[in-house]
Structure 1
Amino acid sequence: MAKMWAGRFSKEADAKLDSFNTSLPFDCRMYAQDIQGSLAHSEMLEKQGIISKEDKEAIHKGLKEILTDIESNELTFSSSYEDIHMFIEETLTNRIGDAGKRLHTARSRNDQVAVDMRLYVKKEIKEIEKLLLKFMNTLCIHAKENLDTFMPGYTHLQRAQPITLGHWMMAYANMFKRDIRRLENTYDLMDECPLGCGALATTTYPIDRNMTAELLGFKNPVDNSLDGVSDRDYCVELCSDLSILMMHLSRLSEEIISWCSLEFHYFELDDAYSTGSSIMPQKKNPDICELIRGKSGRVFGSLLSLLSMLKGLPLAYNKDMQEDKEALFDAIDTVKQCLDIIDPMFDTLTVCKERMANAALHGYINATDCADYLVKQGLPFRDAYHVIGKLVGYCSKENKAINDCTLEELKSFHPYFKEDVYQALDLKTCVLQRNVLGGPSPEEVQRQIEVIQDFIKGCESDET
């Protein structure tokens, strides 16, 4: 097959060049966006008097038939084409004749791929947001069920202070809320249409870039043609957003992995979302979480690939930029796959409430509350801190909890201790009194849940 640029060359391209140069095996996924862009472009060309109405109608009919044939698998992608753009254009020309040859008037593959990529990324951002909002809703549902499921909160992986499982779930929900806002910011920044930028310097034809931007659902055209064809900031930014999201999923996965171990036994995964061992019959492995933890590095790698590819490129388009697609597509696919599996896995896990509550009774996680008790009796906090430090040291040697000390033992460390100290040190009291904004008290966590649910509703209403 003759190349569309063959007129300049005296030799046919080497087969190895074709194989190395082609992007069709991966950019073929943008066929719908390529057809969408061509429909808008031809519509504008006809309105501006650049092509005839008859040619436009033939182009539209041919493009829609190609779309139908691709989606019904009656038309398959041929490896002999360089990219999705030439596949669509030459297939169209073979079907409708000269009208198909007029489609590329006043545009270049440089602005064509730029608009395809933006249309594709906009669609994928919305799909990722839907999956993430669904998982956030699952977290809210389970947080409501665990408003009074007491557990230790950790720092340095050491038991620190009492919280609830609902409070822990809302921490991740807030992380994902920020992820949604980052994705929305990326969407807003990239919502400009590069069609009409041409190869780099627009065109001498009287095109209407505002019209094509509106037809394609962009808020406006890009303002500089050089920037329009060479900009891949949105690819980098999306990979950055997805890397942060995967980091959050990886942190969550790490905790689930730990908490499913017998050493913690806070969670037990459903059999449908666990795997076994080929040699050890007792094993029940959290492979989903381990894979998510591992795949986070894969997404981070996509971000680094894009930054490395772009950092030394002069304006405007360079073939290096073909490498944006595989990295970006893989990051998108990986994130969607992870969100799609972690939601049902989390939704079906069993919470071992007694185990969590029992863990919360040990490790002196009410030591800060004990110090606060003395502060409320009039002792300066730093003095109270030292008193309780000595008390914990004593209890550790005696292998007892602070609550197990007699009042006489407590008074030996400071006379401000009274009988009501035991009520103050009760696990439930420690949590209920933490009703400060953002705290773990059931009432406050319920408020946090409502904030996240309102956010989810707001995002969903924006889509309708």
Structure 2
Amino acid sequence: MSGNRNDTSQFPDPIYKDTVLSALFEGVKAHYAQHMGAINRAHLVMLKDTGILNPEQVRCLAGALKEIDAETDVAALTYTGEHEDYFFFVEAELRRKLGDLGGMLHTARSRNDMDHTLFKLALRERVQVLWQELATLAQALADKAEAEAETLIVAYTHGQPAQPSTFGHYLCAALEVLLRDMARLNLAAEDLDHCPMGAAAITTSGFPIDRQQVSSLLGFEAPLLNSYGCIASVDYVTGLYSALKLVFVHLGRLIQDMAFWSSFEVGQLYVPNAFVQISSIMPQKRNPVPIEHMRHLAAVTAGRCDVMVDTMRNTPFTDMNDSEGEVQQAGYAAFESGSRVLRLLTAFLPACGIDAGRVRRNSDAACITITELADTLVREETLSFRQAHEIAAATARGVLADEKPLAKGFTHFCEAFKSETGRETMLDAETFSLSVSPETFIARRTRPGGPAPEALRDALEIYKGHLADLNAEQARRNARHTQSTELLDAAFAALLET
């Protein structure tokens, strides 16, 4: 106990200063300067309109804030221990200029509600940029799918050739997932659009504040209602980064397919020279290294999102540093690496093409149209599918043993048909050959969601409509943010004339 009474140490301890406060100051000062300025201005407008401060007090505070913005080179600020961050720097400058009046700007607010508002503003800005990149990628996928609607590919399951499809059909599957990811991100963006200001430390304030006015001036849709939740709930963080993670988990699977498809053994995806690096020692090797970088960056982005969510695990349901400065700085890195993936993939994928000759050879070598032969037997010979399957399997075994294309296997088919049914087939060689062609296989898959041109065309119209709706919602949100900036600028300018 006596040691506590004789403690003459002063905050901050040098190690705490070096390991925490200096790094925190550097990391947050940029967005603090931008978004804290907006919060200060909006709060001051509200203090004037509610009569909490009188017009002369407000005019002096507004003028001092304007001077501080003009005089301060934020980038040049360094942590000295005098001011913990930009908030305390501004307050100190206000008090230096105005004396005790400088401390009145903080009436009816706290670092708690301010911090969460700052982070939401910073995240909102990053989501807006990333959204545009996602929308550009989605449009590129739709355009490429439309252009490649009839381009044959080998579709793989379990790493093995399975059935023919089209590049357009494959890309539409990826587009569908991306649109769902964008819808999830859109919902997470809605959680960013509710303002914590007015919660103060925990329980709002005894002053007659107008939470809706501050929320509107900062571009939020509405205040976040429960004041305890304003400073304790971090689901805007966990929800956003969970949604963001899924984008890159799912794109990573698409990227991995590109690595597989462009391998020498498969070779159905042609990567143009602009995206190929030649080996320094083996001049015959074409290394599509952007695929590896995208795969790596997608994984890193997903991992950074996991860090954000896992940091919140088992934290108390209250205001705490675990959800504030340093973790937010770490989370911004997910937007940076994610942006690199999206921009590279948007350029890379449309530039690639399908090697038709390799697709044809792989199709023949693996008998990937055999399912349509079985379906044809069910339709034309009125067999059960199990009978048809046995005939198709025996036919495939025969042509694979002879190393012939399936279209050349009519003799094997006739033998298998008679062995299974005890009669001759009604199909002739031409009908058999037609039934096992990739073009026929695709053309007959006309059901909704199938690869036939008309089905794919209908699906693309649906996807384009979904993308337009999502973009329209984001545009409305962006317009509100832009309009609020203009309203805040005008309202603050009017304070200077009070």
TM-score (norm 2): 0.84
User: Distance in 2 between the 1:368 and 1:244 partners?
Assistant: 34
Counterpart check, 1:79 vs 2:90: no
CA–CA separation in structure 2 for the residues paired with 1:242 and 1:269 = 28
Aligned twin of 1:19: 18
Whichever residue aligns with residue 172 of structure 2, its letter is M
Q: Deviations over 1:56-82 (max 9, x none)?
A: 344445545655677xx6753322342
Separation (CA, whole Å) in 1 of partners of 2:463 and 2:147: 15
Q: 1:380 maps to what in 2?
A: 384
Contact 2:269-2:353 at 8 Å conserved across structures: yes
C-alpha deviations, 1:158-212, integer Å up to 9, x for none? 1111100111111111111011100111112332111111122222222111211
* Aligned position for 2:448: 437
Q: Any idea what SS the aligned residue of 2:156 has? A: strand
**Which structure has the greater CA radius of gyration?**
2
Structure-1 separation of matches of 2:339 and 2:56: 42
Partner of 1:446: 457
Q: Compared with structure 1, are the counterparts of its residues 444 and 243 closer, same or farther at alpha carbon in structure 2 (3 Å cutoff)? A: same
CA contact (8 A) 2:151 2:354 kept: no
Secondary structure, counterpart of 1:263 in structure 2: coil
C-alpha contact (below 8 Å) 1:367/1:388 kept by paired residues: yes
Between the two proteins, what is the percent identity of the paired residues?
26
Deviation at 1:359, TM superposition (A): 2.6
- Pair 1:238–1:373, CA change in 2 (3 A): same
Question: What's 1:401 paired with?
Answer: 405
1:94: how far off? 4.8
The answer to whether the Cα contact below 8 Å between 2:30 and 2:74 also exists between their aligned partners in 1 is no
- Helix, strand or coil: the match of 2:286? coil
> 1:154 and 1:294 mapped to 2: Cα distance?
23
Q: Give how far 1:230 is off.
A: 1.5
Q: What does 1:225-264 correspond to in 2, within 5 Å?
A: 225-264=227-266
Q: After the TM superposition, which of the residue ranges 80-89 and 440-449 deviates more from structure 2?
A: 80-89
Alpha-carbon shift at residue 100 of structure 1 (Å): 3.7
Give a deviation string over 1:243-294, Cα, whole Å, max 9, x none.
Answer: 1111122112111222222222223334443434444444433333212222
Shift of 1:432: 0.8
What CA deviation, in whole Å up to 9, does each residue of 1:284-307 have, x standing for no partner?
A: 333332122223332333333333
Quote the residue 1:223 is aligned against.
Answer: 225
Asked if structure 1 preserves the Cα contact closer than 8 Å seen for 2:245 and 2:306, the reply is no
Inter-CA distance 361–147: structure 2 relative to 1 (3 Å threshold):
farther
CA gap 1:391/1:272 in 2 versus in 1, 3 angstroms: closer
**1:456 matched to which residue of 2?**
467
Distance (whole Å) between structure 2 residues aligned to residue 391 and residue 223 of structure 1? 69
For structure 1, which segment, 334-343 or 293-302, has the greater mean C-alpha deviation from structure 2 after superposition? 293-302
**Partner SS state of residue 162, structure 1:** strand
Amino acid at match of 2:208: P
SS at match of 1:11: coil
**Aligned letter for 2:149?**
L
Number of residues paired by the alignment? 453
SS of corresponding position for 1:102: helix
Which structure carries more relative contact order (alpha carbon 8 Å, separation 6+)?
2
Measured in 1, the distance between the counterparts of 2:77 and 2:114 equals 19
Give the Cα separation in 2 of the matches to 1:75 and 1:53: 33
SS at match of 2:153: strand
Q: Distance in 2 between matches of 1:51 and 1:108?
A: 17
Contact 1:361 1:427 in 2 (8 A): no
- Does the residue aligned with 1:103 lie in a helix, a strand or coil? helix
**Equivalent residue in structure 1 for 2:127, among 125, 128, 138:** 125
Q: Distance in 1 between matches of 2:254 and 2:98?
A: 54
Q: Is the 8 A contact 2:365 2:400 kept in 1?
A: no
Counterpart-to-counterpart distance in 2, 1:66 and 1:259 = 58
Q: Aligned partner of 1:18: which letter? A: K
Q: Partners of 2:415 and 2:251 in 1: how far apart?
A: 48
SS of equivalent to 1:148? coil
Once superposed, what is the RMSD of the aligned Cα atoms? 2.4
* Residue 355 of structure 1 pairs with residue 358 of structure 2: yes
Shift of 1:51: 2.0
With over 3 angstroms needed to count, the CA separation of the structure-2 counterparts of 1:344 and 1:29, relative to structure 1, is farther
Residues 9-53 of structure 1: per-residue CA shift (max 9 Å, x gap): 972422222223322222234232222222111111111122233
SS where residue 418 of structure 1 aligns?
coil
Shifted more, 254-263 versus 57-66: the winner is: 57-66
Deviations 1:408-446 (A, max 9, x none): 432221133502222222211110111110011122222
> SS of the counterpart of 1:362?
helix
Q: Distance in 2 between matches of 1:126 and 1:374?
A: 54
* Alpha-carbon shift at residue 358 of structure 1 (Å): 3.5
Contact 2:57 2:101 in 1 (8 A): yes
Q: 1:84 to 1:427 in 2, by over 3 A?
A: same
Q: 1:397 to 1:302 in 2, by over 3 A?
A: same
Displacement of 1:360: 2.9
AA paired with 1:399?
E
Per the alignment, residue 30 of structure 1 pairs with 31
Partner Cα distance (2:272, 2:27) in 1: 36
For residue 425 of structure 2, what is the aligned residue in structure 1?
Answer: 416
1:336 corresponds to: 339
CA distance in structure 1 between the aligned counterparts of 2:98 and 2:454, rounded to whole angstroms = 67
The separation in 2 between residues aligned to 1:91 and 1:332, in whole angstroms, is: 33
Amino acid at match of 1:386: E
Structure 1 gap ranges (5+) = 1-8
Q: Which 4+ runs in 1 deviate beyond 6 A?
A: none
In structure 2, relative to structure 1, the CA distance for the partners of 1:422 and 1:61 (3 Å cut) is farther
Say if 1:222 and 1:172 are closer, same or farther in 2 by CA, change over 3 A: same
